[in-house]
């Protein structure tokens, strides 16, 4: 068996050039980038030269090359068609979220890979954060008692930009909710179980493009806990601390900056003393809690290494196609709730 998966990147500009190639592929164990393709040929040639790999002239050329897997980092409206071509060519695919534009797209993608006997994964790289995994383990051990409530926040300033596919519903499927809220919902599900019902509101508070720049979702989870996600394209970057909060009957985990593209932020646990009595004064000690600070991992490298390891071992990746399909189902329910003003059960 080969000791490294040979990769091609399709959609070499954008997030691939900024983060996934330099941080994910360069130095990754069990993975070797051999070539890149992008419809912008000048950008593609520059990326290929920068990283010393082949510059493919077409998707067909990339799939005809000696590669085992494809990292698909193109706009969402291209995912279904391109993924189908990859599956037909027998290539494994790690696809940026969302899986296509719709639930139907995502389900067809998953079925195409099942039928072809190759692997499809979803790039929810924040699941692989060392701090998020430590928090998940604490919750699973019962350190927080019975889960009660969670909150995940991810916002930025994203003004109207010519040609921005994330600002066109036909190209990206929605705005801040699908682009950033998908990560937040997925993280809360990692901690609290799958969403079972949603209620959502969306709006345009600052920008006039045809997708939402503001979204707030209330979710009910299989654990019985509730959660909220707030995600906006209309808040200055430095003004959003990207908070993660998980509360239970015995304590909480509070974090800032762990959600996003960086490898780590600040995270602490606040746990009640065993047998603590009722305190009518509701006194707070003001302590900094217990730091949750495991050695940081780069989540882009982690997702490439984990997917490569899954391919080499012939197992399902940790961040699987199933999670991508489920994410589309939850997001579709959120948008339906926003349109109708109703609570939607999944």
Amino acid 285: pLDDT: 67
- Low-confidence residues of the chain: pLDDT under 70: 1, 284-286
Amino acid 280: pLDDT: 75
Which strand ranges, in their side-by-side order, compose the sheet holding 54-55? 54-55, 31-37, 5-10, 69-72, 92-95, 120-122
Amino acid 286: pLDDT: 64
As a whole number of angstroms, the distance between CA 34 and CA 31 comes to 10
> Which residues have a Cβ under 8 Å from the Cβ of 111 and sit 6 or more positions away?
none
Kindly report, residue by residue over 235-247, the tens digit of the pLDDT.
Answer: 999 999 999 999 9
Domains and their CATH numbers in the chain:
5-123+300-318 (3.40.50.720), 126-297+329-345 (3.30.360.10)
> Quick one: tokens of 238?
């430095």
As a whole number of angstroms, the distance between CA 188 and CA 191 comes to 5
Beta strands in 138-224 (DSSP E): 147-153, 195-203, 214-221
Q: Coil, strand or helix: which one is 122? A: strand
Q: What's this model's pTM, rounded to 2 decimal places?
A: 0.95
CA distances from 65 to 34, 81, 129 (A): 9, 19, 32
Contact indicator for 290, 11 with CB cutoff of 8 Å: no
Amino acid 281: pLDDT: 72
As a whole number of angstroms, the distance between CA 301 and CA 298 comes to 5
Q: Which single residue is written with the structure tokens 């692989």? A: 128
């Amino acid at each position: 068996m080969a000791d490294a998966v040979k990769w091609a990147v399709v959609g070499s500009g954008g997030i691939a050039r900024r983060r996934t190639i330099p941080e994910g592929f360069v130095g990754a164990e069990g993975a070797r980038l051999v070539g890149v393709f992008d419809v912008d040929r000048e950008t593609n040639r520059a990326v290929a030269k920068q990283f010393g790999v082949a510059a493919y002239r077409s998707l067909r050329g990339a799939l005809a090359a000696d590669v085992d897997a494809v990292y698909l980092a193109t706009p969402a409206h291209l995912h279904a068609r391109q993924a189908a071509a990859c599956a037909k060519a027998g290539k494994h695919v790690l696809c940026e979220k969302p899986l296509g534009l719709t639930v139907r797209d995502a389900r067809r993608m998953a079925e195409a890979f099942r039928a072809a006997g190759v692997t499809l994964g979803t790039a929810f790289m924040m699941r692989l954060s060392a701090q998020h995994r430590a928090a998940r383990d604490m919750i699973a051990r019962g350190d927080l008692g019975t889960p009660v409530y969670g909150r995940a926040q991810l916002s930025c300033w994203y003004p109207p930009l010519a040609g921005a596919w994330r600002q066109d519903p036909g190209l990206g499927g929605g705005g801040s909710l699908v682009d950033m809220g998908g990560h937040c919902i997925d993280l809360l599900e990692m901690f609290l179980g799958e969403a079972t019902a949603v209620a959502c509101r969306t709006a345009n508070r600052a920008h006039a493009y045809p997708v939402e720049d503001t979204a707030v979702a209330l979710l009910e989870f299989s654990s019985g806990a509730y959660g909220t996600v707030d995600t906006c394209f209309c808040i200055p970057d430095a003004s959003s601390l990207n908070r993660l909060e998980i509360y239970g009957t015995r304590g909480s985990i509070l974090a800032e900056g762990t959600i996003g593209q960086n490898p780590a932020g600040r995270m602490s646990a606040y746990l009640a003393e065993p047998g603590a009595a009722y305190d009518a004064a509701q006194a707070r000690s003001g302590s900094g809690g217990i730091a949750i600070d495991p050695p940081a991992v780069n989540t882009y490298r982690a997702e490439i290494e984990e997917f490569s390891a899954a391919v080499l071992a012939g197992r399902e990746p940790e961040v699987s196609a199933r999670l991508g399909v489920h994410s589309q189902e939850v997001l579709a329910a959120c948008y339906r709730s926003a349109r109708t003003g109703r609570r939607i059960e999944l």
